[in-house]
């Protein structure tokens, strides 16, 4: 339970954040516990995290601001381990170095700054820029589906089986429930984004609109997308399959038929000569 001083300080800081929003940062306390805050960091431009939606929590001690909060990031980023406490100079790993004058916005700016660096600490991981960009592109899907552990479907899509474990989910089978409880408006925006981009909620991958068709050509494309490597090779292979499906037996086997006819001609000629 928060002390009166901590409660007053955190209430004031929330009012200040609401009145003067900090770029790339959104945060609020839990409705049931003012010591538990949820934040969203938006990946800044010109970084591997650009456009990403990174959700995390700050858990303050009862005697804040004389001690710092525990800091976690739940959304996979390629920079931090999901839901593990981060060892930063502004976190509970270093209570003696914490300055009581620092505010919630100061703490989150520090997290954002550290995220954009390459410094290694407890709770951080090493990943390539390309890997971090992939994570950034999947953040909205991950947050609202619990890493694919949701059972919710999008109208018009062929539903795939829910991944009850999720991919790095905050809680097994969470299905995005905890994110939705704290960020209902963002959650709805994320689902609209998935619908507009035809994202499969269970896998986070784009689903081809052609998958709704039953034509042989579409079946060939579907098999290729499911079983081939991504990139140009998959496109070429898919084109070959569609071409083969659309051609008749004679066109596909014209070369073999020509050889067979030539062989038959030679045999008949020899038989006539012998006669």
Q: Catalytic residue positions?
A: 87
| Distances from the Cα of 65 to the Cα of 18, 35, 127, angstroms | 19, 11, 34
- Which of 120, 109, 131, 118 shows the shortest CA–CA distance to 44? 109
Element (H or E) spanning 189, and its range? helix 184-196
**CA gap 55, 260 in Å, rounded:** 68
CA-CA distance, 206 to 136, in Å (whole number)? 15
Distance CA 81, CA 74 (A): 8
Contacts of 178 (CB under 8 A, 6+ apart): 146, 170, 171
Closest CA to 103 of 24, 31, 11: 11
Type and span of the H or E element at 230: none
| For the chain, the helix, strand and coil percentages under 3-state DSSP, each to the nearest 5 | 45, 10, 45
Reference 62, options 35, 22, 40, 96; nearest CA is: 35
């Amino acid at each position: 339970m928060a002390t009166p001083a901590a409660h007053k300080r955190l209430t004031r800081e929330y009012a200040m954040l609401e009145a003067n929003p900090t770029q790339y940062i959104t945060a609020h306390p839990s409705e049931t516990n003012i010591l538990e805050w949820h934040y969203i960091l938006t990946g800044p431009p010109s970084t591997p995290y650009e456009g990403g939606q990174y959700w995390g929590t700050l858990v303050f001690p009862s005697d804040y601001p004389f001690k710092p909060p525990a800091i976690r990031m739940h959304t996979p980023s390629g920079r931090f381990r999901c839901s593990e406490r981060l060892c930063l100079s502004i976190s509970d790993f270093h209570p003696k170095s914490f300055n009581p004058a620092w505010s919630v916005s100061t703490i989150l700016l520090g997290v954002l700054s550290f995220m954009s660096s390459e410094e290694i600490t407890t709770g951080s991981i090493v990943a390539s820029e390309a890997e971090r960009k992939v994570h950034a592109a999947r953040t909205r899907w991950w947050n609202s589906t619990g890493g694919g552990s949701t059972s919710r479907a999008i109208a018009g899509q062929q539903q795939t089986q829910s991944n009850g474990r999720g991919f790095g989910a905050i809680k097994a089978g969470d299905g995005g429930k905890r994110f939705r409880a704290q960020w209902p408006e963002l959650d709805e925006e994320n689902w609209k984004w998935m619908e507009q981009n035809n994202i499969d909620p269970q896998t986070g991958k784009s689903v081809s609109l052609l998958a709704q068709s039953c034509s042989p050509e579409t079946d060939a494309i579907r098999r290729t997308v499911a079983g081939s490597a991504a990139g140009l090779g998959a496109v070429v292979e898919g084109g070959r399959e569609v071409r083969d499906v659309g051609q008749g037996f004679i066109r596909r086997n014209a070369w073999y038929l020509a050889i067979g006819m030539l062989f038959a001609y030679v045999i008949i000629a020899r038989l006539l000569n012998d006669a």
